[in-house]
Amino acid sequence: MPAVEVRDLQVRLDGVPILTGIDLTVRSGEWVTVIGPNGAGKSTLLRAVGGLLPAAPDAVRLFGTPLGTLRRRDRARVVATVAQSPVVPPGMTVLDYVLLGRNPYIPPLGRESAADLAVVQEVLDRLDLAGFRGRELSTLSGGERQRVFLARALAQGATLLLLDEPTSALDIGHQQEVLELVDQLRRTEGLTVLATMHDLSIAGEYADRMVLLAEGRVAATGTPHEVLTEDLLSHHYRAHVKVIPGPHGPFVLPTRPHHP
Ligand SMILES: Nc1ncnc2c1ncn2[C@@H]1O[C@H](COP(=O)(O)OP(=O)(O)OP(=O)(O)O)[C@@H](O)[C@H]1O
């Protein structure tokens, strides 16, 4: 059974059509990355799949269950989202923020258990964040904060991870560390990943399949080799690029246009 099934998804925001006729299947254990120019609708698609938009709940099924029939708490055990700029409650420490990921497991009016704290500590260790436990989020650098957002999602223990630009603020070392960790969790814990990324070479290295969105519609879908082509990218991004083969996927290099 697929982890994500999207059929003919239409999203309008404030009367404006943002996504039109989107079909998308993500198999269990697969890593699918959505690419596309600014404003194409990538974040909106992830928000719709994560149940964060009221639009068309019947157009999305998670592990066979229509999204609209899942209660919030049950949904949170199935799908965890790392948004581009999550809202952070003022004054909150890293530990308390990552503990929010355990909310779906804490009984109403109850407190976190020792097991919840152990899960959080393990995630903090894995993401190189143990030394930041007591720090207020507002005092962290952009990259440190981005790792904390991912930590909260991993602490949630959901099988489907939605990552909206998870590495945009990270240096190349931390980019690799975070993406390798997610890929390792995918292989060892059977996580399914649906991500958006602007770095096309990195996107192609990690994804099994890619979806190119343009103006709210699916313009292409397939393996990184099928989607990351000079023709498709120059047409939809209006960019001059060179695509060269790499060991884990094509490398996409922006090149300056020729001037006569
Ligand atoms: N409430 C709204 N009303 C009207 N238009 C909206 C609303 N919210 C988002 N949009 C528009 O929807 C389009 C898609 O936005 P979205 O954030 O999904 O794009 P994206 O592909 O993730 O872009 P980026 O690469 O810049 O992050 C944009 O043109 C945006 O301006």
Q: What is the CATH number of the domain that holds 165?
A: 3.40.50.300
* Residue 259 covered by a domain: no
Domain carrying residue 27: 4-254
List Cβ neighbours of 68 (8 Å cut-off, separation of 6 or more): 57, 58
Q: What is the pLDDT of residues 59-107, one digit of tens each?
A: 999 999 999 899 888 999 999 999 888 888 889 999 999 999 999 888 8
Nearest CA to ligand 1 atom 16: 41
pTM recorded for the entire structure: 0.93
* Residue 260 covered by a domain: no
* Residue 23 covered by a domain: yes
* Residue 104 covered by a domain: yes
Ligand 1 contacts CB of residue 12 (under 6 A): no
Q: The complex's ipTM?
A: 0.97
Q: How far is the CA of 167 from the centre of ligand 1 (A)?
A: 19
Q: What is the pLDDT of residues 30-50, one digit of tens each?
A: 999 999 999 999 999 999 999
- How many domains does the chain fold into? 1
Between CA 141 and CA 50 the distance in angstroms is: 27
Q: How far is the CA of 255 from the centre of ligand 1 (A)?
A: 27
DSSP state of 84: S
* Residue 98 covered by a domain: yes
* Residue 206 covered by a domain: yes
Q: How far is the CA of 41 from the centre of ligand 1 (A)?
A: 6
